[in-house]
Amino acid sequence: MKKLGLLLAFQVMRLGVSAQDMGLTKTKFVIGVSAPELLHAGVGFDLTTINQLGFTVGVGPTLGGVWPTVSAEHRLYFGKVQASTNRRKLFFRQGAIYYTAGDEGAGVLSLGIDLKSKKANRGWTIDAGYFLLFPRTRDRYRDSFPALRFQYFSYFKKA
């Protein structure tokens, strides 16, 4: 399983480097609320016009404490290019989440949209999909849940 994850990460990075447009490369800072990532803050990096890598850290309430998370994601953008932003706004997200308080993780697949704010280089992200907890138990219905996420983002150009 670990080898498959490394191979997937390598392929995504290779695709991003081979098609990179230096004029578009930007950094995006995000804050949000979601299931399963809870309250989170992070950063996203536009690799190409259709690829973005992101990393977040988060916390959420549990009985008697907090539940820290670390996550990584890849977004594949598709659809019509918007004239106002020169970007596609629909995306397919693949993510991995690690719960640092235990020995568990989750895989996430979702579809989403970036909605532009009235302020330049800012906006909202909404995505919905499915997440699966690892390690899995014998009850597959107990290990899978709907995923829903709301984020506010702000872009800053790389120096």
More confident residue, 100 or 140: 100
pLDDT tens digits for 25-66? 589 999 999 987 789 999 999 998 899 999 999 997 677 778
pLDDT tens digits for 67-125? 899 999 999 999 998 877 778 999 999 999 998 887 788 899 999 999 988 887 899 99
User: In the prediction, which pLDDT does 66 show?
Assistant: 82
More confident residue, 13 or 101: 101
pTM for this prediction: 0.78
CATH (domain of 118):
2.40.160
Structure tokens at 23: 């004029």
Total domains in the chain come to 1
More confident residue, 63 or 16: 63
User: In the prediction, which pLDDT does 152 show?
Assistant: 96
Token pair 């190409």: residue? 48
Structure tokens at 132: 């699966």
What separation in angstroms does the CA of 44 have from each of 25, 41, 140?
A: 11, 10, 31
Nearest to 95 by CA among 113, 69, 73, 77: 73
The backbone region for 130, taken as left when phi is positive above 0, alpha when psi lies in -120 to 50, beta otherwise, is beta
Res 16 pLDDT > 50 = no
User: In the prediction, which pLDDT does 78 show?
Assistant: 95
Segments forming the whole domain that contains residue 107: 2-157
pLDDT band at 2 (very low <50, low <70, confident <90, very high): very low
